[in-house]
Amino acid sequence: LMLPGRGGLEILRALRAASLATPVLLLTARGEEHDKVLGLELGADDYVTKPFGIRELVARVRAMLRRTALTESVPLRQFRIGAAEIDLEAFQVEVDGQVQRLSKKEAAMLALLFRNAGKAVSRSAFLDEVWGSDRFVSTRTVDTHVLNLRQKIEPDPAAPVFLVTVHGIGYRLEPGGGGCA
C-alpha cells in the first residue's frame, strides 16, 4: 500500500478499472480493519499484514494461483480497455455508443495482449499465436493490425496510451493507460 510514487491502492484501482483478473495480494504493515476492508473492497484477492510467516504467505499465493488457473481455463469473452468495451464473441468494440467490427485476427491479438497485460508481447509471438502455420506474413503485418486496433480503441491513436509500442520488441497493453502496470 505504501509505495514510492504511486500508492498501492491507486495501482489496484487502475488494474480493476481495466477489468484485469490479475491476482492481487496486498502485503503491508497497515493492519487496521478499515485498511483491510478498503483493500478487499477495491478488488484485492487477499490481504496479509506484517509480521507474517513465510509458509503462510507461500500457501496464500499458491491458493490464489490455483483459483486463477481455474478461471483462466474459461475462455476470454468480454473486457474493457479504457472507454472501449470489447466483445470477442461478437467480434466488436464499442466506444461511446459507436460499435466497430473486429476481424478474427484483431480479436485474437487483443486476447493475447489482454492475457499478457503489462508485459511486452513480441511480434514473433503475435505471428505464432495469431497467424500460426498460416505465416505468409511479415512482422509489418502485426504493426498494421495494431494501427487498426489503435484506431478503434485509443482516445488519440497518434498518441497511444493503451496499446503501446515496446521499441525493438513489439507491443504492450497498459491496463490503466499511461504506464500504470
Residues 94/102, Cβ–Cβ less than 8 Å: no
- pLDDT tens per residue across span 18-66: 655 678 888 888 888 888 888 888 878 888 999 989 999 998 888 888 7
Compute the average pLDDT of residues 3-14. 76
C-alpha cell at 83: 472507454
Span between the terminal Cα atoms of the chain, in Å: 15
Comparing CA positions, the residue from 181, 93, 172, 73 lying closest to residue 125 is 172
Look at the pTM and tell me if it is higher than 0.85: no
Residue with grid cell 477495491, as numbered in its chain: 42
CA distances from 82 to 4, 55, 72, 87 (A): 25, 38, 22, 14
Hey, what CATH class is 8-72 in?
alpha beta
Quickly list H helices, 25-100.
Answer: 33-41, 54-72
Task: Domain 78-173: give its CATH architecture.
Answer: Orthogonal Bundle (1.10)
Task: Tell me the domain boundaries of the chain.
Answer: 8-72, 78-173
Residue 81, SS3? strand
Beta bridge mates, 163: 173
- pLDDT tens per residue across span 53-110: 999 999 888 888 877 665 555 456 788 888 889 998 888 999 988 999 999 899 989 9
Residues 171/146, Cβ–Cβ less than 8 Å: yes
Comparing CA positions, the residue from 56, 86, 70 lying closest to residue 23 is 70
Residue 3, SS3? coil
